[in-house]
Chain A
Amino acid sequence: MTTILATNILTPLGRTTVENYEAVRAGKSALAVAPARAGLPLRHCAAAFSGQQWAEMAVEGLTRFESLALRSLQDALSRTAVAPSSGRTVLILSTTKGNVEELGPEPARDGAYGAPGEAARKIAARLGMRTTPIVVCNACISGVTAQVLADRLLSAGEYDSALVCGADTLSDFVLAGFHSLKALSPLPCRPFDWERNGLNLGEGAATMILGRKGETDAWTLRASALTNDAYHVSAPAPDGEGVRRAIVRTMEGEDPGTLATIAVHGTATLFNDQMESKAIERAGLSDVPVSSYKAVFGHTLGAAGLIESILAMQAAQDGVVLGAKGFEASGVSGKINISSQERRTDKTAVLKIISGFGGCNAALLYGRRPSAPAASGKEASLRVTARVQISPQGLWVNGERCGLRQEGAALLTEIYKTCLDDNPKFYKMDLFSRVAYLASALLLREEKEVEEMPFILFNRSSSVLADRHHLRSCNGPEGFFPSPSVFVYTLPNVVMGDLAVHYGLKGETTLLILPEKDEALMERITGSVFTQTGARMMLTGWADAADETCFEADMKIIQINQ
């Protein structure tokens, strides 16, 4: 049973969980309208730290992103006896774009950029940690995925404690991208309201210190589920089917009558809120009060799944469901229980739901009653049943080299044309996504029962080539013209969404970034998925593209021995 030992929320509204909770109760919002300026000719509304707040948080030798995450971790750690230096404690960092504000359109113009795994390693070193950190980069659901990953690793006995921290800074990079998707509201957002017209971005961090044991009345992670819509990489399935499945699986055997609230994603885009309302109604939870915080903090991306869960638990512990700021009159067709007013509750469970680009969804149930201790799970006997490897030099299927003529990036087009030639979306992808797509697709087309199969992809360089491409489109010779089709691939998990749509994958799709390829750590992580979820089969492996000439994929189908 994974227990929450301590938390922190660090946003423009406060430096601790309690400060943030009190600010929200007092009706405050961190959103403010910002004028257009050089580099970002775009009037927008966002939740940003002030210059003074950044100056107070700055840590010598670390970037803004790294400082933000470290400050949040330090506050949470100060509230527990957990020793970061123990070889049984792991850092799991949730971020969508990490140090992207230090990245240049070409390497010569980089600032203090370090890939997400390197950033995590620097943060872990400041805490005196000895284990290799893991970064979750799963679009908007990263913060919840990170908790689910920690829960599995702790339940499988791989570690005794996990420091789960989510953080993202407000960058011109992300603002320009969401602008190109026409997703930004120029005014404070209005989740679920009939006047809603888009989201606001925010910045912040939040931390949960998780352990295997805790006080009897502590909050615990009771159940969770991850799904994929297999519908579209940037638009949710209109009927909310992926979220509904995640909720139903999470609530299996649980009493919905114990729920104090559902902490929703509620981005205030037309599609997200409508979809979520349908998912909640179809899951039979129309009566449960909804908590929505995007009009307070904006969308804090990698931090959102942590901030929103922690806040909902803090409120429930106080007998409160916080009012949904920005909401006045319903603008969704699914029946949900939402109010702008604070309400009392005597219930003790919280359900978090969240969805993201790449079609991924997550649900996570927190409770205060002790649940039956989960079996730590027998070590599964696993075998690799198929393997595809790609490098600039060639393609290998189950160890045998395929006779192809091209090399380098041209090899990828040759593989696509020769072996697949059935999804022109391939041509829209960046180099990393092409490599990951091809290696995965060559395995998936041979498998029959892929619908529920988890898909766990490991990587080192995130989407750095697409990131640089996006920066060039924001600052090209013709001016500021960020490209939406380039921006979507600046989330490295989006290619998993492409594969999910094409091959009908409706199970988990998770992208994890490591400081370097570490087969032993990858096996511990995938092993915990088998023991903790009951999966019989998995698509997993490594795919990376550091630059135009240096790319690699090594993907496998792994099955449990019968």
Chain B
Amino acid sequence: MEALIEELKKQIIEALNLEELTPEDIDADAPLFGDGLGLDSIDALELIVILDKKYGIRLSSPAEGKEIFKNVRSIAEYVQKARKK
């Protein structure tokens, strides 16, 4: 799980162009949207692309991802369950 969390942090930084951040700066339990990392609706759509591209998981809408995208740990837990690659 910790390895997957680390991998996700790197992918999020790369895909969302969070140039000023390193994986250590992202708390796996801190909110990604709103106050936490301050991601927005386009970032949410980009997270959907990461899940599809890297893990073969298809979400049809950001609404479906609301619980999953709460923080990096919740994404990791979901990926572990649902991954197809």
Contacts and interface: CB of A to CB of B under 8 A. Distances in A.
B62 interface: yes
A131 interface: no
Nearest to A424: B20
Contacts of B18: 424, 427
Contacts of B40: 232
Contacts of A427: 17-20
Q: Would you call the interface of chain B mostly helix, strand, loop, or mixed?
A: helix
B41 interface: yes
Given A234-B42, A488-B42, A182 B16 contact: no
Given A182-B60, A428-B16, A485 B52 contact: no
Contacts of A217: none
A485 B43 contact: yes
B45 A484 contact: yes
Contacts of B53: 478-479, 481
Contacts of B41: 232, 234-235
Say which size band chain B's interface belongs to. 10 to 19
Chain A CB within 10 Å — which of B16, B43, B53 has the most? Answer: B53
Interface in B18-46: 18-20, 40-43, 45-46
B8 interface: no
A532 interface: no
B63 to A, nearest CB: 9
A428 B20 CA distance: 12
B49 interface: yes
A478 B20 CA distance: 27
Interface in A178-198: 180-182
A317 interface: no
A485 B17 contact: yes
B19 A424 contact: yes
A424 B46 CA distance: 16
B48 interface: yes
A182 B62 contact: yes
B45 A180 contact: yes
Interface in A483-532: 483-485, 488
Nearest to A473: B49
A488 B43 CA distance: 11
A481 B49 contact: yes
B47 to A, nearest CB: 10
Chain A CB within 10 Å — which of B18, B42, B53 has the most? Answer: B42
A481 B52 contact: yes
A332 to B, nearest CB: 18
Contacts of B46: 483-485
B26 to A, nearest CB: 14
A483 B45 CA distance: 8
Given A427-B17, A481-B53, A484-B42, 16 more contacts: A180-B49, A182-B48, A234-B41, A234-B42, A424-B19, A424-B20, A427-B18, A427-B19, A481-B49, A481-B52, A482-B49, A484-B45, A484-B49, A485-B15, A485-B45, A488-B42
A-B pairs with lowest CB-CB distance, top 7: A484-B45, A427-B19, A427-B17, A428-B17, A481-B53, A485-B46, A485-B42
18 contacts: A180-B49, A182-B45, A182-B60, A233-B42, A234-B42, A424-B18, A424-B19, A424-B20, A427-B17, A427-B19, A427-B20, A478-B53, A481-B52, A482-B49, A484-B49, A485-B15, A485-B43, A488-B42
